[in-house]
Structure 1
């Protein structure tokens, strides 16, 4: 490699990494083919690619040409330790001509008989994706041209890996969110519920969610929330919060206490995340709704013959982020026959460059008592229309229908 590099190798490297046929393959197959091409073009004995793990603390062997044991044995290298860890920490090429326990964490490398290693960082959009390194069992010196050409390959891998991860996370997040949304509308004698959920076009799946469930004692639980962030991580946190809230809802009656328990759990287990949540418990027999808000926008109340208004309720701090707020508050609201309550996330009323007050005013002007499915359709038509939403939108409408017995 350092001993008289063929003049045309640069072109062959560029051809290898720009081969459009590789784009039609899944990531693992593409990496397999590309790494074997690198091994041949650079005349080396091993080529290995390690990706940063989800925690951002270690490098995990993902693909190899000539040293498959690294992948099969699940080799992990702490960032900052050894040869590959040093490349990751410095985000710069590193070359060593001594491969043993003093320079390399993974014993497979010196057991393979490697005498020299060259590693380059794999970086996409300023984020460290991993490390690619090549090795030779013969002593040699990698040239600046060698290093530059290996970086070209690493850039191609970074682009492919970033695209694959984005697609995979989006698919996983979509699947997760779909699995966590209520299967169908809740209908109890005199009460009907309808909902909408639309992921943001700009950010994809985020952390918005809604939930509606039956509770013991002829009660209905209604939840709407928004986890800060987007993508798979926000969806996973959302799933954990949703499950925890359901569990607390079965153990504790008051929504304020349920949110307090949720907050303490989130403050301990979700220290780096935060979510706004509105949780209401409706007693169907008495038509009383107990409502608690954790940093969330208040729902809209619509009664027959009256102007729609926002529920007057104390707004406590969001859950999570180590806040662990004590003494959360709630309010009781009478939902007489004909009343409708509309819960929503801020994606419904916020638009880039537009005052949120305008969105809230349009929401008030649109929500009227009536069948909840019709209300959801009218709200989405008025506030979303034919424009793709920039953020997630969740909307839940609960209607206390006028039954024959109530009419008499």
Structure 2
């Protein structure tokens, strides 16, 4: 049976209610018939133009905030990839027949993302219900006064809600700043590794509530070996930053006395049971032996390290994978595996923010990482780290923080 052919452009234009499509730069690419009719604009007056050039703020109202609130909502959608429902707002528009004359309007907007094949926001759906007539509705004798009272109450409640949201965002911004400062103090700075080049990166997530669960660490071991670890605490904000700091320090100490990475993770797992917020933390630890050109590794629920060989091929170190810390009720010995590397190979450790996307299988992210590594195989670690972030993270920022370690072996 043949599937019916549907003209989705015609369906969009016939949708009831005001609906417009904008680019992530907030430029109109389409609008349905109700939007054009109720906004009093032609399609030619909208398409290809920045939304707030078409609908600027009312210059005669010093308290007007409709443009700012709408712009902030749309930018949140672009940054987060999530729908944003706005409170009722007043947003006057200029009469297209009488320039300089502004008409009072009240709107109930919803902004939603349309994701492209790469998981990034390709379009913003701007759906608006005009409620001006409802607010001004007359209901018989005294109706005009009642409508005015209702209008004032609704507008006051909307402004109060907006003020609460702004205070919450300010509090979240302060928490983000404190958490980032704390994390920067706890994460080790890049340092020389003898003749070996290394680069480290940390990219905080977009938003105050999505930061500071990731860490990395490099620890010198006896016999001119090096332990490199990357971990991710479940949770965000100050609590995650505090748990991260305790776990990073504990693992750094354990690596220096353990017989191998598996034993170090066993010790860390026991310690994690006494740390608030450390449950289900994921971490991978590698011991690099420069003398015999080998990497011994163990992984606790974490994405596998990537080994970029001199010929450009990529191997994921996934032969010693176990559940996250504290996932088992009783202690069980963790596995570890060993692999060799050739001169000029590159080891890459990272957290899931680099590869995982909500709309994709993890194998897709791993394949994207491998392709990027092969593409930039001749780059020095500092350049390679920057290239990986540029290739794999959304340009508007990610909703999860990302830690990255690149070491030329």
Please indicate the TM-score interval, normalised by the length of the shorter structure: 0.5 to 0.7
Deviation of the 1:324 alpha carbon: 5.1
2: CA distance, partners of 1:305 / 1:161: 54
Deviation of the 1:336 alpha carbon: 1.9
SS at 1:379's partner residue? helix
SS at 1:228's partner residue? coil
Task: Give the direction of change, closer, same or farther, for the CA distance of 1:180–1:271 in structure 2 (3 Å limit).
Answer: closer
Match of 1:247 among 239, 246, 253: 253
Match of 1:380 among 389, 392, 398: 389
Q: TM-score, normalised by structure 2?
A: 0.56
Aligned twin of 1:73: none
Contact 1:280 1:290 survives alignment (8 Å):
yes
Contact 1:267 1:324 survives alignment (8 Å):
no
Aligned twin of 2:98: none
Per-residue displacement from partner, 1:350-369 (whole Å, max 9, x unpaired)?
22323332221110111144
Deviation of the 1:169 alpha carbon: 2.2
Deviation of the 1:322 alpha carbon: 6.5
Contact 2:190 2:198 survives alignment (8 Å):
no
C-alpha RMSD over aligned residues: 2.8
Structure 2 unaligned runs (5+)?
Answer: 1-62, 64-159
Aligned twin of 1:280: 286
SS at 1:265's partner residue? helix
1: CA distance, partners of 2:398 / 2:162: 32
Aligned twin of 1:310: 316
> Quick check: which one's strand share is greater?
1
1: CA distance, partners of 2:244 / 2:278: 13
SS at 1:398's partner residue? strand
2: CA distance, partners of 1:199 / 1:224: 15
Per-residue displacement from partner, 1:314-368 (whole Å, max 9, x unpaired)?
2111113674542101111112201111111111112232333222111011114
Task: Give the direction of change, closer, same or farther, for the CA distance of 1:349–1:231 in structure 2 (3 Å limit).
Answer: same
Task: Give the direction of change, closer, same or farther, for the CA distance of 1:178–1:272 in structure 2 (3 Å limit).
Answer: closer
Deviation of the 1:379 alpha carbon: 1.1
Contact 1:263 1:324 survives alignment (8 Å):
no
Structure 1 unaligned runs (5+)?
Answer: 1-19, 21-153, 401-408
Q: TM-score, normalised by structure 1?
A: 0.56
Match of 2:177 among 171, 174, 196: 171
Q: Does 1:195 align with 2:204?
A: no
Task: Give the direction of change, closer, same or farther, for the CA distance of 1:262–1:279 in structure 2 (3 Å limit).
Answer: same
The equivalences for 1:9-158 within 5 A come to: none
Aligned twin of 1:114: none
SS at 1:221's partner residue? strand
The equivalences for 1:397-408 within 5 A come to: 397-400=406-409
Aligned twin of 1:213: 219
Aligned twin of 2:121: none
Per-residue displacement from partner, 1:16-71 (whole Å, max 9, x unpaired)?
xxxx9xxxxxxxxxxxxxxxxxxxxxxxxxxxxxxxxxxxxxxxxxxxxxxxxxxx
1: CA distance, partners of 2:341 / 2:333: 25
SS at 2:274's partner residue? helix
Equivalent residues, number: 249
